Amino acid sequence: MDDYNEYDGVSIRPSIEKCTTKKRTPVINLDMTSDSSVDVGEAPRKKSSVVSTTPVNVVKRGIGRPSKNPIVDLPDSTQVTKDSQGTKKTVSFQKAQLLGFDETPFGKLGYMCVQLMHKTSGGSRPKQKVYHRVHELDRMLDLQKKPAVILQLKTIIESQKNKSLLLRDLEKEVGFVQKWNYMAVIEKYPTIFCVSGGDGTPPAVMLTRKAKKIADEEADAIEQMEPILVKNLRKLLMLSIDCRVPLENVELIRSELGLPSDFKESLIPKYPEFFCIRDVYGRAYLQLENWDSYLAVTAQEEQFSREGILSSARNLKKTKISKDGNFPGPFAFQLKFPVSFRPNVSYLEQVHRWQKMEFPSPYLNARKFEIADPKARKRVVAVLHELLSLTMEKRLTSAQLDAFHSEYRLPARLLLCLIKHHGIFYITNKGA
427: nearest Cα among 149, 66, 100, 54: 54
Calculate mean pLDDT across residues 94-113.
43
97: pLDDT strictly greater than 50: no
* Residue 368: DSSP 8-state: G
Opening angle at CA 376, ends 371 and 382, nearest 5: 125
At residue 344 the predicted structure's pLDDT band, cuts being 50, 70 and 90, is: confident
189: pLDDT strictly greater than 60: yes
Higher pLDDT, 231 or 335: 231
Express as a percent the part of the chain with pLDDT over 70: 66
116: β partners: 127
pLDDT, residue 384, reads 94
- Quick: pLDDT tens for 275-320: 999 999 999 999 999 999 999 999 888 888 887 765 555 555 566 7
Calculate mean pLDDT across residues 423-432.
78
**Summary mean pLDDT of the chain:** 74
Calculate mean pLDDT across residues 184-200.
91
pLDDT, residue 241, reads 93
Q: Which CATH class name applies to 225-288?
A: mainly alpha
At residue 135 the predicted structure's pLDDT band, cuts being 50, 70 and 90, is: confident
Whole-angstrom distance, CA of residue 32 vs CA of residue 29: 9
27: nearest Cα among 395, 414, 388, 420: 395
* Residue 176: DSSP 8-state: H
At residue 231 the predicted structure's pLDDT band, cuts being 50, 70 and 90, is: very high
Calculate mean pLDDT across residues 367-387.
90
Question: Amino acid letter at 184?
Answer: A
Calculate mean pLDDT across residues 116-128.
49
Residues 6+ apart with CB under 8 A from 282: none
Q: pTM for this structure?
A: 0.69
Calculate mean pLDDT across residues 175-188.
93
Phi, psi of 289 (to 5 degrees): -85, -45
Distance of CA 377 to the CA centre of its chain: 18
pLDDT, residue 26, reads 65
CATH fold, domain 145-213, is Arc Repressor Mutant, subunit A (1.10.10)
66: pLDDT strictly greater than 90: no
